Amino acid sequence: MASSRGRPPRQLPTSGYVALNPLERIEEEELPLYKPENYYPVVIGQVFASRYQVVSKLGYGTSSTVWLCRDLQEQTYHTLKVCARGQSSNQEIAISEHLKQCSDTIGKNMLRLVLDSFEVAGQHGTHTCLIYQPLGMSFAEFQNLLPDRKYPKDLVQRSIQLTLIALAFMHEINRESRLTITDISPNNILQGMEDTSVLSKMEEDEVERPIARKVLDDRTIYYSRPMPLCTGPPVVSDLGEARIGTKKHNGDIMPGIYRAPEVILEMDWDNKVDVWSIGNMAWDLAEGHHLFFAKENGTLNDEQHLAEMVSLMGPPPPEFLRRSKKCEKFWDRRGNWKGSISIPEQSFESRELQFSGEDKVLFLNFLRRIFRWLPDERPSAEELAYDDFLMQPMVQSRD
């Protein structure tokens, strides 16, 4: 029931929707490792923590379902993430609480922090619930709406520059609180939302035209409503794999094809892995496909990945090779490749097809600043934010 300090929950329709075939797999059911007992059976209209009423489904993933909810106390909207059973969010909650103590309001506004958290008991166990500010679609979702999945040049520049500004805040908060995100990709950068009236429209749409769903004995599987296009500045989300501190870290991180060479080769790493991810993301947005294929017979393959890096960056310097015994498997002491997979015949110039003339020169110079074997040779996020390619629109406006 609703909190005594808030308004009563709204009665949302329980009929009038399109009933889907119970045998048809939809939404999270289509995930390869889907197990229904791992997902909490959220119902539209349900109130969580005596405060947050679910009004629409926004999406799903391997670790959660995501819902739009109305705060009955504040009469505002939030995003509710209901984690799958066994999924821990302690790291993300801890990092969010840590960042809330920082004084940089602008920087914090470019991060999706956990605003509230609680647990809910399901039939098969306990589920963690996280409350966030409402945001628009991800860069990846927006990319899928574009012709050939390619961002226009000015949008690439604006999106990457603003993301770098957010990264610079996290990398330089203070000496002991520096964050490395480790999971920068188009899936985890969301459009900021400046006009929240679209959310009330989504709620009214659910009242007037209830979303199609599949009703089973123990749960209802809803179709997700697409988020509208938003034009606010990008917001970095999913801080669950972030690391705090200035010391070097270790361990396998980053989405597979985004992994930096120091991660693949089991070296210690720092926040320059985020800069490497920015280069991959810039390429993805501009070109409409990944820079690295990194697969053999459809499976992620480290040797293939490293061979492609050599083709684009040249051989690694001796200083880099000395940092990991694993390098001996792929190079001799002089940096000559000895892997079983041939070095592809390619270059940044031959691969880059979106730009021409000065635009192409600036873009490739931007990429070459990032794609360096030695992390120390990559610019910081703050330095990269002022790169000539990203500053081009501002320079041209002054001419």
Instruction: Give 114-156 pLDDT, tens digit per residue.
Output: 999 999 999 999 999 999 999 999 999 999 999 899 999 999 9
pLDDT digits (tens, 9 = 90+) for 43-56: 999 999 999 999 99
Per-residue pLDDT band for 30 (boundaries 50, 70, 90) equals very high
Per-residue pLDDT band for 3 (boundaries 50, 70, 90) equals very low
pLDDT digits (tens, 9 = 90+) for 295-321: 988 899 999 999 999 999 999 999 999
- SS3 call for 324: coil
Does 205 qualify as catalytic in the annotation? Answer: no
Per-residue pLDDT band for 284 (boundaries 50, 70, 90) equals very high
Res 202 pLDDT > 80: yes
DSSP string, 58-93: EEE-SSEEEEEEEETTT--EEEEEEEPTT---HHHH
Instruction: Let me know: does 193 contact 232? Beta carbons within 8 Å.
Output: yes
Res 5 pLDDT > 70: no
Give the mean pLDDT of 13-34.
96
- Of the candidates 174, 373, 357, the one whose C-alpha atom is nearest the C-alpha of residue 260 is 373
pLDDT at 170: 87
Q: What angle do CA 205, 208, 213 make, to 5 degrees?
A: 75
SS3 track for 267-285: CCECCHHHHHHHHHHHHHH
**Count of CB atoms within 10 A of residue 218's CB?**
8
In angstroms, the CA 165 to CA 161 distance is 6
Instruction: Let me know: does 42 contact 67? Beta carbons within 8 Å.
Output: yes
User: What global pTM score does this model have?
Assistant: 0.91
Which one is catalytic: 71, 148, 183, 238?
183
Give the mean pLDDT of 282-290.
97
Residue 32, exposed/middle/buried by CB under 10 A (0-12, 13-18, 19+)?
exposed
- Going by the DSSP 8-state scheme, the letter that residue 193 receives in this structure is -
- Of the candidates 313, 297, 304, the one whose C-alpha atom is nearest the C-alpha of residue 346 is 313
Instruction: Let me know: does 174 contact 300? Beta carbons within 8 Å.
Output: no
Residue-averaged pLDDT of the chain: 93
**Count of CB atoms within 10 A of residue 268's CB?**
14
pLDDT at 272: 97
Instruction: Tell me the torsion sign for CA atoms 47, 53, 59, 62.
Output: negative
pLDDT at 4: 42
Alpha-carbon separation of residue 231 from 66, 94, 138, 193, 234 (angstroms):
21, 29, 12, 7, 9
Specify the CATH class of 135-188+237-393 in words. Answer: mainly alpha
The CATH number corresponding to 1-134+196-218 among 3.40.720.10, 1.10.3720.10, 3.30.200.20, 3.20.20.10 equals 3.30.200.20
pLDDT at 104: 65
pLDDT at 396: 84
pLDDT at 1: 37
- Of the candidates 38, 395, 41, the one whose C-alpha atom is nearest the C-alpha of residue 213 is 41
Per-residue pLDDT band for 2 (boundaries 50, 70, 90) equals very low
Residue type, position 279, single letter? G
- Domain residue ranges in the chain: 1-134+196-218, 135-188+237-393
pLDDT at 29: 97
Instruction: Let me know: does 49 contact 89? Beta carbons within 8 Å.
Output: no
In angstroms, the CA 269 to CA 265 distance is 10
135-188+237-393 has the same fold as 1-134+196-218? no
Instruction: Let me know: does 86 contact 142? Beta carbons within 8 Å.
Output: no
pLDDT digits (tens, 9 = 90+) for 155-193: 999 999 999 999 998 888 766 678 899 999 999 999 999
Per-residue pLDDT band for 383 (boundaries 50, 70, 90) equals very high
pLDDT at 375: 98
